[in-house]
Amino acid sequence: MGLVYADVTLKNAVDAGEAQRGHIKEKEIRAVAVRALVDTGSGTLVINEEIREKLGLAVKGLRRSELADGSKETYQLTEPVEVHWEDRDAVCRALVIPGAKDVLLGAIPLEDMDLIVDPARQVLTGAHGDEALCMVK
């Protein structure tokens, strides 16, 4: 299986909440469209410092993380980010890895949007069809 990429829009979730409450205009929500590498081995959303700054995301803590090469480092964890893919969305915190070339779309936002990788077509697809299903077991 090759690499799978997805076009997603990332939005500052705090801005989105402020717009929903009428405190700012919808057009003031900080957002960025990116081509993300779908990485089922990554736990969450991974962004670089440039994207964190564009979205105006505050750092809410630090998280020790293990990278694919086995190295362990401590990285910043942001306030919530809205992840939008087609007609689905999820909210999660992002891990900031300085200098990261790719945005990584990890397991938490994939699960929240009920998405899986179709290995034959190398695309994202709904795990339970065209409508996102929230699993409660």
Residue 113 has, within 13 A of its CA and on its CB side, a CA count of 27
Which domains, ranges and CATH numbers included, belong to the chain?
5-126 (2.40.70.10)
CA distance linking residue 97 with residue 124, whole number of Å? 24
Assessment of whether the complete model's pTM goes beyond 0.85: yes
CA distance linking residue 69 with residue 61, whole number of Å? 23
R_g of the chain, CA atoms, integer Å? 15
Over the stretch 83-115, which tens digit does the pLDDT of each residue have? 999 999 999 999 999 999 999 999 999 999 999
Over the stretch 45-62, which tens digit does the pLDDT of each residue have? 999 999 999 999 999 999
Task: Report the candidate in 103, 37, 93 with the shortest Cα–Cα distance to residue 62.
Answer: 93
28: left (phi over 0), alpha (psi -120 to 50) or beta: alpha
